[in-house]
Structure 1
Amino acid sequence: MTSLIRRLLVALALLGLAASSAATYVHYHLLKNPDYSSFCDINATVSCRAAYLSRFGSAAGVPVALWGVIFFAGVLLLLWASRGRSTVSDSAASYIFAASTAALAAVLYLAYASFFVLKEVCPLCVATYVAVIGLFVVSGGASSVPIASLPRRAGRDVGALVAAPLGLVVVAVFVIGAVWAAVSFPRAFERPAIADTPPLAADQRSEFERWWNMQPLVPNFPFANDGTKVVIVEFADFQCPHCRQMYFAYKPVLEKYLTAAPKDVTFLFKPWPLSSRCNASVPSVHFAATCEASAAYVLAAHRGTGDQLKDWLFLHQEELTPDTVRRAAADVGKISDFDAQYQKAVEAIKAEAAIGTRLGVNSTPSFFVNGKRVPEGGVPPQYFDALIDLELKRAAR
């Protein structure tokens, strides 16, 4: 391998390593914060988001970008091992050519997925494509050892490399680092699958309407319509499993009406934490991080990031601790002074929780629609949908 070929291979591997490392950084932050916007999110066509969060963004549960880091680091390791008169020097180009051939097949598939399936150009992805294609071409031209002989030579070359103490340390660091990165990298959280539910049949709807008409109005209901036709109020706890279930079950229904009729439907979310630390109506502490989660939501709501943070908190419910909530408050809720504002937020939560208690809330989630209480825990989504539609039609009469 000539010095020019070596320099070209090193430059291409460094290009790929830099692009893959940046892509891994972006992918990590997208998993931690769904609203994260990176430097490569330029417009609807030139962006990294869809590529990284799509089904093409990971392989075997590990981000493709991280596989890229491992691949390009491995190429640099091979080039380092082949320096001077090393026994690996005559076969290094062939090893790189074999590896880049497999990598080329992968990037061609990913390029097709990006350009023709997702219809998006990912700048960092393109940089890795260029690096892989360059490695393939340059190493292919410099390869002097038949590919078929590489399996037989691999044992000898690895043995020669690890025979030296420095070589053994470098290989060990590479292998351990690659395994650790693949195992410890956060996994994407999948939203619960919500089965499609058919709309109510005419007789079901009629019976449900009669039942709803019989429900009493809550006396002195404090949430006025203020010009809207339907006011929906929910009291919930961020660590309550049933609250999470109903959040994802009702989310499509609420989004449908809030998008189609934003002036006619209002949805109010009120934390009712199951902890005596921030809710006087609860005798003990049921969940360790619910006060912090509720405070983070209250603070985020004032900044216009409440919905994003609420979604993150329910999606990551199983990993909530006071510390993870604080990090999410900063990353997702854009709250830079959480600790300074925490006690003030807790006082606001206590006041809202007291209102819920006066309305009869004693469990979560609890829903109210136009001053009437929905049965504790909520009704199935298709009935909730019918309930909103019923109230809209009633207000239009």
Structure 2
Amino acid sequence: MAMPKWERIARIFLCVLGLFLSVYALHVELSRERNPDYRAMCDLGESVSCSKVFTSRWGRGFGLVQLFVAKDSPLNQPNSVLGLMFYTLQIGLGLSLSKKAVMLLVSSSWVSVAGSLYLAYILAFVLGDFCMVCVSTYIINFALLFTNLRRRTAIEGMKEKAE
């Protein structure tokens, strides 16, 4: 079974965009740590500020890792680093048509969507902020879940036809 062209294009587009946004988020966070007066392109106002979000407690390890390790622990990485790993994993696994790869694609997508919902809640109800970069990554994560579920359905359909 060959991967449909739409899926390959969608996956590459979504993952490259996700990687770009993750690199940008990491740049903003590191720039803001070095210079507290740094103003990112995505900082449009008091309640529309991505740098405020990225440098908040929830910008590293989802705000949860520091409950178990020190705030400056190597385990407490910026969420953008997790995004880089996730989108790289999605591209790499997306090249394989194996059932195990599909299972990992779908399960990692569900984890990313759960993380997106959690962070969207934090963004709206705890920080009271709007972060265009964050919301864009949430949309990408939902789109990747949709893409991965479609692949799983296609592979299951191929299996049924073979039997």
Q: Percent identity?
A: 30
Kindly indicate whether the alpha-carbon contact (under 8 Å) linking 1:15 and 1:127 is maintained by their aligned counterparts in 2.
Answer: no
* Separation in structure 2 between the aligned mates of residue 93 and residue 31 of structure 1, nearest angstrom: 38
How many equivalent residue pairs?
Answer: 139
* Separation in structure 1 between the aligned mates of residue 113 and residue 123 of structure 2, nearest angstrom: 15
- 1:139 corresponds in structure 2 to 148
Q: CA deviation at 1:90?
A: 3.2
Kindly indicate whether the alpha-carbon contact (under 8 Å) linking 1:94 and 1:140 is maintained by their aligned counterparts in 2.
Answer: no
- 2:11 corresponds in structure 1 to 9
Kindly indicate whether the alpha-carbon contact (under 8 Å) linking 1:41 and 1:49 is maintained by their aligned counterparts in 2.
Answer: yes
The verdict on how the C-alpha distance between 1:72 and 1:6 changes in structure 2, with shifts beyond 3 A counting, is same
* Separation in structure 1 between the aligned mates of residue 6 and residue 132 of structure 2, nearest angstrom: 28
Instruction: Name the aligned partner's letter for residue 89 of structure 1.
Output: L
* Separation in structure 1 between the aligned mates of residue 8 and residue 104 of structure 2, nearest angstrom: 13
1:122 aligns with 2:137: no
- Choose from 87, 103, 106 the match for 2:112: 103
- SS in structure 2 at match of 1:134: helix
Q: CA deviation at 1:76?
A: 1.4
Kindly indicate whether the alpha-carbon contact (under 8 Å) linking 1:114 and 1:121 is maintained by their aligned counterparts in 2.
Answer: yes
* Structure 1: unaligned runs, 5 residues or longer: 83-87, 147-397
* Separation in structure 1 between the aligned mates of residue 12 and residue 105 of structure 2, nearest angstrom: 11
Q: Deviations over 1:276-311 (max 9, x none)?
A: xxxxxxxxxxxxxxxxxxxxxxxxxxxxxxxxxxxx
* Separation in structure 2 between the aligned mates of residue 123 and residue 65 of structure 1, nearest angstrom: 14
- Which structure is larger by alpha-carbon Rg, 1 or 2? 1
* Structure 2: unaligned runs, 5 residues or longer: 66-75, 157-163
Q: CA deviation at 1:2?
A: 1.3
- 2:97 corresponds in structure 1 to 89
* Separation in structure 1 between the aligned mates of residue 53 and residue 31 of structure 2, nearest angstrom: 14
Query: TM-score normalized by structure 2?
Result: 0.79
- 1:69 corresponds in structure 2 to 84
Instruction: Name the aligned partner's letter for residue 70 of structure 1.
Output: M
* Separation in structure 2 between the aligned mates of residue 33 and residue 93 of structure 1, nearest angstrom: 43
Q: CA deviation at 1:43?
A: 0.7
Kindly indicate whether the alpha-carbon contact (under 8 Å) linking 1:51 and 1:120 is maintained by their aligned counterparts in 2.
Answer: yes
Q: Deviations over 1:58-93 (max 9, x none)?
A: 0131101111111111111222xx2xxxxx313334
Higher helix share: 2
Q: CA deviation at 1:121?
A: 0.7
Instruction: Name the aligned partner's letter for residue 58 of structure 2.
Output: F
Q: Deviations over 1:71-124 (max 9, x none)?
A: 111111222xx2xxxxx3133343211111001101110011011111111111
- 1:41 corresponds in structure 2 to 43
Q: Deviations over 1:2-57 (max 9, x none)?
A: 12112111111111111111101101111111111110001112111221121111
- 2:26 corresponds in structure 1 to 24
- 2:70 corresponds in structure 1 to none
Q: Equivalences for 1:337-352 in 2 at 5 Å?
A: none
Higher relative contact order (CA 8 A, sep 6+): 2
- 2:53 corresponds in structure 1 to 51
In angstroms, what is the RMSD of aligned CA positions? 1.6
- 1:335 corresponds in structure 2 to none
Instruction: Name the aligned partner's letter for residue 74 of structure 1.
Output: L
- SS in structure 2 at match of 1:42: strand
Q: Deviations over 1:171-219 (max 9, x none)?
A: xxxxxxxxxxxxxxxxxxxxxxxxxxxxxxxxxxxxxxxxxxxxxxxxx
